[in-house]
Chain A
Amino acid sequence: MPKLKVNDIEVEVEDGLTVLQACEKAGAEIPRFCYHEKLSIAGNCRMCLVEMEKSPKPIASCAMPATEGMNIKTNTPFVEKARKGVMEFLLANHPLDCPVCDQGGECDLQDQSMFYGVDKSRFKENKRAVPEKHMGPLIKTQMTRCIHCTRCVRFATEVAGVSELGAIGRGEDMQITTYLEQSMQSELSANVIDLCPVGALTSKPYVFEARPWELKKTETVDVMDAVGSNVRVDTYDWEVKRVLPLINEDINEEWISDKTRYACDGLSNQRLDTPFIKYNGKFEKASWSEVFKIIKSKFENSSKDKVCGFVGDLTNMETGYIFKEFFDRTLNNNNYDSRSDSRFLDNSERQNYIFNSSINGIEDADLIFLIGANPRYEATILNARIRKAFVNNNTKVISLNDSGDLTYPYKNLDGQTKTIKTIFEGSEEISKEIISAIKPMIIIGESLLKLNSAEHLFNLIKNFLKKNNKFTEDWNPLNILSCDAATVGNFDLGILNSEKNLLEELKSNKFEIVFLVGQDNLEFNKKDEFVIYQGSHGDKGAEIADIILPGSAYTEQDGYFTNLEGKIQKAYKASYPPGEAKEDWQIINELAEVMNNRKLFNDKEELESSMFNYLKLQQEKRTTDNKEKTNLEFQNEKLNIQLKDYYFSNVIARSSKTMIECNNSKLNIKSTGTEG
Chain B
Amino acid sequence: MSLRRPAKNQPEIFEFSPSSLEEANKIVSKYPKGKQQSAVMALLYIAQKQNDNWIPLVAMKYIAKFLDMPYIKVYEVATFYTMYNLSPVGKYFVQVCTTTPCMIRGANKLVEACKEKISDKENELSNDKSCSWMEVECLGACVNAPMMQINDDYYEDLDKEKTVEIFDKILKGEDPKPGSYRGRLNTEPENNRKTLMDVKNA
Q: Which one of B71-79, B111-119, B186-194 is at the A interface? A: B71-79
Q: With A173-B1, A173-B3 in contact, do A166 and B76 touch (Cβ < 8 Å)?
A: yes
- Decide: B1 and A163 in contact? CB cutoff 8 A: no
User: How far is it, in angstroms, between the C-alpha of A164 and the C-alpha of B80 when the chains are bound?
Assistant: 17
Nearest-CB residue, chain B, relative to A167: B76
User: How far is it, in angstroms, between the C-alpha of A164 and the C-alpha of B71 when the chains are bound?
Assistant: 8
Q: Say if the beta carbon of B57 comes within 8 Å of chain A.
A: yes
Number of interface residues of B (CB under 8 A): 13
Q: Say if the beta carbon of A179 comes within 8 Å of chain B.
A: yes
Contact of A170 among B57, B71, B75, B80 (CB under 8 A): B80
Q: Say if the beta carbon of A165 comes within 8 Å of chain B.
A: yes
Chain B residues positioned under 8 Å from A178 (CB to CB): 72
Q: With A163-B72, A163-B73, A164-B70 in contact, do A169 and B4 touch (Cβ < 8 Å)?
A: yes
User: How far is it, in angstroms, between the C-alpha of A597 and the C-alpha of B69 when the chains are bound?
Assistant: 70
Q: In the complex, which residues 145-193 of chain A have their Cβ closer than 8 Å to any Cβ of chain B?
A: 157, 163-171, 173, 178-180
Chain A residues positioned under 8 Å from B79 (CB to CB): 168-170
- Decide: A168 and B3 in contact? CB cutoff 8 A: no
Nearest-CB residue, chain B, relative to A163: B70
Chain A residues positioned under 8 Å from B4 (CB to CB): 169, 173
Q: In the complex, which residues 13-36 of chain B have their Cβ closer than 8 Å to any Cβ of chain A?
A: none
Chain A residues positioned under 8 Å from B75 (CB to CB): 166, 168, 179-180
Q: Is the interface of B mostly helix, strand, loop or mixed?
A: helix
Chain B residues positioned under 8 Å from A179 (CB to CB): 70-72, 75
Chain A residues positioned under 8 Å from B69 (CB to CB): 163
Chain A residues positioned under 8 Å from B57 (CB to CB): 180
Chain B residues positioned under 8 Å from A169 (CB to CB): 3-4, 79-80
Total A-B Cβ pairs within 8 A: 35
User: How far is it, in angstroms, between the C-alpha of A157 and the C-alpha of B73 when the chains are bound?
Assistant: 10
User: How far is it, in angstroms, between the C-alpha of A551 and the C-alpha of B71 when the chains are bound?
Assistant: 48
Contact of A164 among B1, B3, B72 (CB under 8 A): B72
User: How far is it, in angstroms, between the C-alpha of A228 and the C-alpha of B27 when the chains are bound?
Assistant: 49
Chain B residues positioned under 8 Å from A167 (CB to CB): 76
Chain A residues positioned under 8 Å from B80 (CB to CB): 168-170
Q: In the complex, which residues 548-579 of chain A have their Cβ closer than 8 Å to any Cβ of chain B?
A: none
Chain B residues positioned under 8 Å from A173 (CB to CB): 1, 3-4
Chain A residues positioned under 8 Å from B72 (CB to CB): 163-166, 178-179
Chain A residues positioned under 8 Å from B73 (CB to CB): 163, 166
Nearest-CB residue, chain B, relative to A170: B80
Nearest-CB residue, chain B, relative to A168: B79
User: How far is it, in angstroms, between the C-alpha of A224 and the C-alpha of B38 when the chains are bound?
Assistant: 42
Q: Is the interface of A mostly helix, strand, loop or mixed?
A: mixed
* Chain A interface residue bracket vs B: 10 to 19
User: How far is it, in angstroms, between the C-alpha of A253 and the C-alpha of B69 when the chains are bound?
Assistant: 28
User: How far is it, in angstroms, between the C-alpha of A168 and the C-alpha of B4 when the chains are bound?
Assistant: 9
Q: In the complex, which residues 227-242 of chain A have their Cβ closer than 8 Å to any Cβ of chain B?
A: none
CB distance from B146 to the nearest CB of A (A): 27
CB distance from A445 to the nearest CB of B (A): 28
Chain B residues positioned under 8 Å from A165 (CB to CB): 72
CB distance from B120 to the nearest CB of A (A): 24
User: How far is it, in angstroms, between the C-alpha of A180 and the C-alpha of B71 when the chains are bound?
Assistant: 10
Chain A residues positioned under 8 Å from B71 (CB to CB): 179
User: How far is it, in angstroms, between the C-alpha of A451 and the C-alpha of B192 when the chains are bound?
Assistant: 94
Nearest-CB residue, chain B, relative to A172: B1
Chain B residues positioned under 8 Å from A157 (CB to CB): 70
- Residue of B71, B72, B73 contacting most chain A CB atoms (<10 Å): B72
Q: In the complex, which residues 378-393 of chain A have their Cβ closer than 8 Å to any Cβ of chain B?
A: none
Q: In the complex, which residues 73-132 of chain B have their Cβ closer than 8 Å to any Cβ of chain A?
A: 73, 75-76, 79-80
What per-residue 1/0 map shows which CB atoms of B125-168 lie under 8 Å from chain A? 00000000000000000000000000000000000000000000
Chain A residues positioned under 8 Å from B76 (CB to CB): 166-168
User: How far is it, in angstroms, between the C-alpha of A164 and the C-alpha of B69 when the chains are bound?
Assistant: 11
User: How far is it, in angstroms, between the C-alpha of A173 and the C-alpha of B73 when the chains are bound?
Assistant: 17
CB distance from B12 to the nearest CB of A (A): 9
User: How far is it, in angstroms, between the C-alpha of A170 and the C-alpha of B2 when the chains are bound?
Assistant: 11
Chain B residues positioned under 8 Å from A180 (CB to CB): 57, 75
CB distance from A134 to the nearest CB of B (A): 14
- Residue of A165, A169, A179 contacting most chain B CB atoms (<10 Å): A179
CB distance from B73 to the nearest CB of A (A): 6
Chain B residues positioned under 8 Å from A170 (CB to CB): 79-80
Chain A residues positioned under 8 Å from B3 (CB to CB): 169, 173
User: How far is it, in angstroms, between the C-alpha of A180 and the C-alpha of B10 when the chains are bound?
Assistant: 13
User: How far is it, in angstroms, between the C-alpha of A173 and the C-alpha of B70 when the chains are bound?
Assistant: 22
CB distance from A225 to the nearest CB of B (A): 27
CB distance from B117 to the nearest CB of A (A): 30
Q: In the complex, which residues 419-459 of chain A have their Cβ closer than 8 Å to any Cβ of chain B?
A: none
CB distance from A177 to the nearest CB of B (A): 8
Q: In the complex, which residues 35-86 of chain B have their Cβ closer than 8 Å to any Cβ of chain A?
A: 57, 69-73, 75-76, 79-80
Nearest-CB residue, chain A, relative to B80: A170
Chain B residues positioned under 8 Å from A168 (CB to CB): 75-76, 79-80
User: How far is it, in angstroms, between the C-alpha of A180 and the C-alpha of B60 when the chains are bound?
Assistant: 12
User: How far is it, in angstroms, between the C-alpha of A5 and the C-alpha of B73 when the chains are bound?
Assistant: 40
User: How far is it, in angstroms, between the C-alpha of A163 and the C-alpha of B71 when the chains are bound?
Assistant: 8
- Residue of A168, A173, A178, A180 contacting most chain B CB atoms (<10 Å): A168
User: How far is it, in angstroms, between the C-alpha of A168 and the C-alpha of B1 when the chains are bound?
Assistant: 14
User: How far is it, in angstroms, between the C-alpha of A168 and the C-alpha of B69 when the chains are bound?
Assistant: 16
User: How far is it, in angstroms, between the C-alpha of A168 and the C-alpha of B81 when the chains are bound?
Assistant: 10
Chain B residues positioned under 8 Å from A166 (CB to CB): 70, 72-73, 75-76
CB distance from B67 to the nearest CB of A (A): 13
CB distance from B40 to the nearest CB of A (A): 13
User: How far is it, in angstroms, between the C-alpha of A462 and the C-alpha of B3 when the chains are bound?
Assistant: 61
CB distance from A216 to the nearest CB of B (A): 40
User: How far is it, in angstroms, between the C-alpha of A179 and the C-alpha of B71 when the chains are bound?
Assistant: 7
User: How far is it, in angstroms, between the C-alpha of A166 and the C-alpha of B76 when the chains are bound?
Assistant: 7
Nearest-CB residue, chain A, relative to B2: A173
Nearest-CB residue, chain B, relative to A165: B72
User: How far is it, in angstroms, between the C-alpha of A179 and the C-alpha of B78 when the chains are bound?
Assistant: 13
User: How far is it, in angstroms, between the C-alpha of A179 and the C-alpha of B61 when the chains are bound?
Assistant: 11
Nearest-CB residue, chain B, relative to A178: B72
Nearest-CB residue, chain A, relative to B69: A163
CB distance from B185 to the nearest CB of A (A): 39
Nearest-CB residue, chain A, relative to B82: A170
User: How far is it, in angstroms, between the C-alpha of A60 and the C-alpha of B57 when the chains are bound?
Assistant: 37
Chain B residues positioned under 8 Å from A163 (CB to CB): 69-70, 72-73
User: How far is it, in angstroms, between the C-alpha of A173 and the C-alpha of B1 when the chains are bound?
Assistant: 9
User: How far is it, in angstroms, between the C-alpha of A157 and the C-alpha of B72 when the chains are bound?
Assistant: 11
User: How far is it, in angstroms, between the C-alpha of A179 and the C-alpha of B74 when the chains are bound?
Assistant: 10
User: How far is it, in angstroms, between the C-alpha of A179 and the C-alpha of B75 when the chains are bound?
Assistant: 8
CB distance from B70 to the nearest CB of A (A): 3
Chain B residues positioned under 8 Å from A164 (CB to CB): 70, 72
CB distance from A264 to the nearest CB of B (A): 30
Nearest-CB residue, chain A, relative to B57: A180
User: How far is it, in angstroms, between the C-alpha of A28 and the C-alpha of B170 when the chains are bound?
Assistant: 67
Nearest-CB residue, chain B, relative to A174: B80
Chain A residues positioned under 8 Å from B1 (CB to CB): 171, 173
Nearest-CB residue, chain A, relative to B70: A163
User: How far is it, in angstroms, between the C-alpha of A173 and the C-alpha of B79 when the chains are bound?
Assistant: 10
CB distance from A181 to the nearest CB of B (A): 11
A-B contact pairs, 20 of them (CB 8 A): A157-B70, A163-B73, A164-B70, A164-B72, A166-B72, A166-B73, A166-B75, A168-B75, A168-B76, A169-B79, A169-B80, A170-B80, A171-B1, A173-B1, A173-B3, A173-B4, A179-B70, A179-B71, A179-B72, A180-B57
- Give chain B's interface residues, CB within 8 Å of chain A: 1, 3-4, 57, 69-73, 75-76, 79-80
User: A169-B4, A179-B70 are known contacts; what are 10 more A-B pairs with Cβ within 8 Å?
Assistant: A157-B70, A163-B69, A163-B72, A163-B73, A165-B72, A168-B75, A168-B79, A170-B79, A179-B72, A179-B75
Pick the 3 closest A-B CB pairs, nearest first: A163-B70, A166-B72, A168-B79
